[in-house]
Amino acid sequence: MNRDHPAPDTAPDPETLALAHKLFDAARGGDSDVLDAYLAAGVPATLTNDAGDTLLMLAAYHGHAGTVRVILQHGGDPNTANDRGQTPLAGAVFKGYPGAVQALVEAGADPDAGSPSARAAAQMFARADIQALLGRG
């Protein structure tokens, strides 16, 4: 490191961290109104936590179809995988939330993306209802 030009401090300030935690909690809890307000004000819908989970991943994994739709309306990407290669669609399938699955499929989520893919998870858990939502592969 050059002493004349120290590396910038890249750690977020406490207020920014608190807001991020609030937004991730809102996604987990299905608080669509809070997310809608912050996303409309300019918070990126692609915000990720330290595990690479997006707001959309957390909402889908916890089965909040309405919140999934709000995040998608603000530019959430239905195909963004987390650091483990899991997509929001696969998370919703794994947890067995057809409403979230439907919202993601309608937004163009790829049932064959990620590891394991949503299609593979639906087959593994013998979820014929969700397999029908995913369509033929």
Task: Look up tokens 């990407």; give the residue.
Answer: 77
**Is-contact 114 125, C-beta < 8 A?**
no
Q: CB count, 10 Å around CB of 127?
A: 18
Give the pTM.
0.89
Residue 75 corresponds to which tokens in the numbers above?
Answer: 């530019």
Instruction: Quote the pLDDT of residue 35.
Output: 98
pLDDT digit string, tens, across residues 88-120: 999 999 999 999 999 999 999 999 999 999 999
pLDDT digit string, tens, across residues 14-62: 998 999 999 999 999 999 999 999 999 999 999 999 999 999 999 999 9
Residue 38 corresponds to which tokens in the numbers above?
Answer: 């912050």
The size of the chain, in residues, is 137
**Nearest in space to 107 (alpha carbons), one of 51, 42, 60:** 60
Residue 86 has pLDDT above 50, yes or no: yes
pLDDT digit string, tens, across residues 60-82: 999 999 999 999 999 999 999 99
Residue 69 corresponds to which tokens in the numbers above?
Answer: 């739709």
Percentages helix, strand, coil for the chain (3-state, rounded to 5) are 55, 0, 45
Which is more confident, 13 or 66? 66
Domains, the chain, ranges and CATH? 14-134 (1.25.40.20)
Which is more confident, 12 or 23? 23
How far is 72 from 93, CA to CA, in rounded Å? Answer: 18
- 5: confidence class by pLDDT, cuts 50, 70, 90: low
